[in-house]
Amino acid sequence: MTDLRKSDRLIKLGLLMIAFSAISALFVITLFIFEQGGPIMFKYGLKSFIFGQDWYPSEKIFGLWPMIVGSLMVTLGALIIGVPLGLATAIFLAEFSSRRLARILKPVIELLAGIPSVVYGFLGLMFLIPFIRENLGGPGLSVLAASIILGIMILPTVISISLDSIRAVPDCYREGSIALGATRWQTVRMVVLPAARSGILAAIILGMGRAIGETMAVIMVAGNAAEIPSSILQPVRTLTSNIALEMGYAAGEHRQALFATGVILFVIIMVLNTIANLTASRQGKR
Amino acid sequence: MKVEAGEYLIEVRNLNVFYGSFQALKDINLKLQAARITALIGPSGCGKSTFLRSLNRMNDLIDGARTEGEVFFEGKDIFSPETDLLELRRRVGMVFQRPNPFPLSIADNVTYGLRVHGQNDRAWLEERLYWSLQAVNLWDELKDRLKVNALELTGEQQQRLCLARLLALEPEVILMDEPCSALDPLATARIEDLMYELKKKYTIIIVTHNMQQAARVSDFTGYFLLGELVEFGETNEIFTKPKDPRTEDYITGRFG
């Protein structure tokens, strides 16, 4: 008896420590980024750091505005492409396809998530970039290319989470609607989707997180010019690309400015998540 | 209503329903009168709900379900290819065992059926909303909470709301699949009172496990056992002098 109790207590203590180490890792990372990137932002002024139009690290001009706009454009583009496609797929699999087809297709879609991002970038470079250059104009490396690649990359996230939330809607709602003489599509549109709303929103938030954080594939297809693109056919640089491209050779204040880029990215993701969560919980209550 | 009270509204001929290789209903023949309450009793799994769900073709939704025979509703076979299925379900409404209001506002629940049938005139929707909630005695309770999510209502209110949702569509037949099984005795009594009132305008068919309920509310009773309709007749006859010994065994509580 006493032995058992003692081992229980030991295990509990051990698990507690492991759990805390995971949380403290987050803490340490946050602290480190802010410690490294914070001071330089205040040295050159928060305003010029965020809204500065020019990024010439060798001349100590650190304006992140083009990259902030770039990240937001590319993420928005990915959502515009990925969300309708993903949601339509989820609706089809949950409500209209046969169970057998869904059982085959769902794992296939989840395989998409297993493809390394460098492969997405490579495929984009080989096929998408020449296609855009020849048919739509511009250098090919562009906001559009990055949006398309990211839109495809967020599909597995958007599909599987919204599929789960659509499937979690109790069948009694569907029966009630069909029994009133509604068609299947009316039932989906007017009852099932509203009931699955918070899950679908979660799917979009997670897709957004994936898109804004993705680096390698974006570097390969976006062109990476550190200026605000004049159209979606022009090159763009995102916050993540900015860090990855220059970290290898940066030193001193340049290095700190890259950490500051990380701080901005961190804050943007926090703000977007909070907004999305707030709308989710408010709509959930209604 | 085209069919007068007491005349036959629904006629079922040689109805067989199969789920895969399992035969859930065996050769059912039955005529149901308009503006009457018909109760279907019998043990679980003996085909009562399957029969009920045949009348608005909800069995169509079940994979592997197959139906043979005919069901005439106002003289037309509902299984014929010319049947407008959506219109049939508007005219033959259904209340389920567990209240299933949609996770929408009370008002949106009531007007849902009208909207799916293409009616979008706001004044008309509001008029139907008022009328339908009045018809199930919910208007006074809920008139200030029409925008509230229907899932916040009590079980009894939810079931009444589901009835109101049907009535908004001006159906002719109301199918009820154990509508009170999730309610307490007082709420059950109030729903039964409501059924009595609705009988004046609607033909009601109710599946129930509760034999007292069948005896209290219904004009006619049918007894289902193992997929067969063992006996059908006026309620007081079924309960006082059943012709079939199997019916007698069930209603005297020897099994079931």
Residues in chain B predicted with pLDDT less than 50, given as ranges, are: 1
Question: Does B56 lie at the interface with A, CB-CB under 8 angstroms?
Answer: yes
Q: Which residues pair with A137 in a beta bridge?
A: none
Residue A2 is predicted with a pLDDT of: 59
- Chain B CB contacts of A188 under 8 Å are none
Cα distance from A180 to chain B (closest Cα, Å)?
6
Q: How far apart are alpha carbons B142 and A229 in whole angstroms?
A: 55
Residue B195 is predicted with a pLDDT of: 92
Q: How far apart are alpha carbons B220 and A170 in whole angstroms?
A: 34
Q: How far apart are alpha carbons B53 and B109 in whole angstroms?
A: 22
- Chain B CB contacts of A184 under 8 Å are none
Q: How many CB atoms lie within 10 A of CB B185?
A: 8
Contacts of B1 (CB under 8 A, 6+ apart): B34, B35, B172, B201
Residue A275 is predicted with a pLDDT of: 78
Residue of B nearest to A183 (CA): B86
Q: What is the DSSP string of A103-164?
A: HHHHHHHHHHTTS-HHHHHHHIIIIIHHHHHHHT-S-S-SHHHHHHHHHHHTHHHHHHHHHH
pLDDT in tens, chain A (286 residues): 556 688 888 999 999 999 899 889 889 988 988 988 888 888 888 888 888 888 888 888 888 889 999 999 999 999 999 999 999 999 999 999 888 898 899 889 889 888 999 999 999 999 999 998 888 888 888 889 999 999 999 999 999 999 999 999 999 999 999 999 999 999 999 999 999 988 898 889 889 988 998 889 999 998 888 888 888 888 899 999 989 998 888 788 888 889 989 988 988 888 877 877 777 666 554 4
Q: What are phi and psi of B115, to 5 degrees?
A: -65, -40
What domains does chain B contain, in order, with CATH numbers?
8-99+172-251 (3.40.50.300)
Q: Structure tokens of B197?
A: 């009132």
- Out of B85, B89, B116, the one facing A190 most closely (by C-beta) is B116
Question: Does B162 lie at the interface with A, CB-CB under 8 angstroms?
Answer: yes
Cα distance from B213 to chain A (closest Cα, Å)?
24
Q: Please answer yes or no on whether B113 and A176 come within 8 Å at the CB atom.
A: no
- Chain A CB contacts of B100 under 8 Å are 170, 172-173, 175-176
Q: What are phi and psi of B195, to 5 degrees?
A: -60, -40
Q: How far apart are alpha carbons B134 and B142 in whole angstroms?
A: 10
Q: Please answer yes or no on whether B93 and A180 come within 8 Å at the CB atom.
A: yes
Q: Please answer yes or no on whether A181 and B94 come within 8 Å at the CB atom.
A: no
Q: Please answer yes or no on whether A181 and B162 come within 8 Å at the CB atom.
A: no
Are the C-beta atoms of residues B90 and B174 closer than 8 Å to each other? no
Pairing state between β B65-73 and B76-77 = antiparallel
Cα distance from B191 to chain A (closest Cα, Å)?
19
The residue among B116, B146, B177 with the most chain A CBs within 10 A of its CB, best to mutate, is: B116
Q: Please answer yes or no on whether B96 and A173 come within 8 Å at the CB atom.
A: no
In CATH, A55-285 is 1.10.3720.10: yes
Q: Please answer yes or no on whether A180 and B169 come within 8 Å at the CB atom.
A: yes
Residue B49 is predicted with a pLDDT of: 92
Residue B75 is predicted with a pLDDT of: 86
Contacts of B57 (CB under 8 A, 6+ apart): B78, B79, B85, B88, B89
Residue of B nearest to A189 (CA): B116
Cα distance from A182 to chain B (closest Cα, Å)?
6
Q: How far apart are alpha carbons A59 and A215 in whole angstroms?
A: 26
Q: Which residues pair with B207 in a beta bridge?
A: B40, B177
Q: How far apart are alpha carbons B165 and B170 in whole angstroms?
A: 10
Are the C-beta atoms of residues B174 and B56 closer than 8 Å to each other? no
Are the C-beta atoms of residues B46 and B226 closer than 8 Å to each other? yes
